[in-house]
Structure 1
Amino acid sequence: MDTQEFLSLESDISTQLAVIDNVFVDIEDRTQGFDISDTRHVESVAYQIHNAYSATEELLRLIANYFENQIGDAPRWHSALLRRMTQPVPGVRPALLTKEAFLLLDTLRGFRHFFRHAYASTIDPTLLQANLQVARQAHSLLHRDISDFLDQLRPAK
């Protein structure tokens, strides 16, 4: 990867990370004085966790598109994309995600799926609180993994 390509990738990643970080600002805002008995409050936090994973998935798609063309719309592309980001592509790119980050993000992928399809269900506040902790951990690890990924790709001066 030449310097110009790297700088373009780094800029795009930075822009999407800012989107993710803003979602986490919203999460922290909505969890101040969090009342698990208030359904609207629970749904608001759940929606932001959903947004956090969706924005993260968009980041993964962006990176995959830089190196591997299109992901496609196969029935299980969401899980395939996440798995793919744990694997290096020799001669093309290093792995993006550690196993630890993958497991946390996969949990959030499942929560997002539930949230999107929970038309007749209520959100269990205990499940929400567990996923809130997972989201916070995943956010921290994502920043670490992105930094490591970019360091491995950074052209020598």
Structure 2
Amino acid sequence: MNAQTELVTLRDTIELHRTVLQRIESAYSEFVATLPAELSERQYHQGIVIADYLEKYYTCLETLFLRVAQHFENNLRAERWHHDLLDRMRIRIGPIRERVISDDAYPLLVELLKFRHFKRYYFDIRYDWDKLTFLMKKFSELRAILPADLDRFVAFLDRLIAKVNDTD
């Protein structure tokens, strides 16, 4: 594959992941609209659904980040790769790669990463609604920030693609 094809493939992969993220967001929003306002009235099965949406969203986004890292860096340490990957996404690598996420998005994503790790090893079916409410708030904040971050990165890829076209 030549450089242009690789960049176009990366850009299109990001857009595909964004479509999945939007589907998750839409389903999440529809579900949240059905939740009782009072935490004490919420049921355990509703917590399971919320937790699943948050986990799927972060995992989809992490996969997007991994594709970026594979294209530009491809050297994550095996023992901490989840955290290292997230750290790398907020770093601009000289003229090689723009940052993927902003400093505002980073701590919100750290919360989702921590929760995703917790959820994978939590075998009970009852979640703490105070914790889920906190995560839902962080997720809402992230949803307001992330599209602009990803738009900025895709625009960077488009500039790289144009530059490669000009040199061919």
What TM-score do the two structures reach when normalised by structure 1?
0.88
Identity %: 24
Residue 133 (structure 1) aligned to one of 130, 137, 140: 137
Pairing 1:51–2:56 present: yes
Q: Tell me the residue number matched to 2:97.
A: 93
Q: Distance in 1 between matches of 2:108 and 2:136?
A: 11
Q: Distance in 1 between matches of 2:99 and 2:105?
A: 12
- The structure with the larger Rg is 2
Identify if the C-alpha distance between structure 1 residues 93 and 10 changes in structure 2 by more than 3 Å, giving closer, same or farther.
same
How far is 1:29 from its partner?
2.0
Matches within 5 A, 1:69-108: 69=74, 71=76, 74-108=78-112
Count the aligned residue pairs: 156
Q: Distance in 2 between matches of 1:121 and 1:76?
A: 28
Of Structure 1 and Structure 2, which has the larger fraction of its residues in helix?
Answer: 2
Q: Tell me the residue number matched to 1:61.
A: 66
Q: Distance in 2 between matches of 1:75 and 1:140?
A: 31
Comparing 26-35 with 57-66, greater Cα deviation is found at: 26-35
Comparing 7-16 with 54-63, greater Cα deviation is found at: 7-16
Stretches (4+) displaced over 3 A: 1-6
Which structure exhibits the higher relative contact order, with contacts defined as CA atoms closer than 8 Å and separated by 6 or more residues?
2
Q: Distance in 2 between matches of 1:6 and 1:12?
A: 10
Comparing 40-49 with 118-127, greater Cα deviation is found at: 118-127
Pairing 1:9–2:14 present: no
SS in 1 for 2:100: coil
Q: Distance in 1 between matches of 2:47 and 2:87?
A: 30
What is the CA RMSD across the aligned residues, in angstroms? 2.1
SS in 2 for 1:141: helix
Unaligned runs of 5+ in 1: none
* Per-residue deviation, residues 34-78 of structure 1 (Å, max 9, x unmatched): 144210011111111111111110110111111112545x12110
How far is 1:120 from its partner?
4.0
Q: Tell me the residue number matched to 2:32.
A: 31
Unaligned runs of 5+ in 2: none
Q: Tell me the residue number matched to 1:110.
A: 114
Contact 2:44 2:125 in 1 (8 A): no
What TM-score do the two structures reach when normalised by structure 2?
0.83
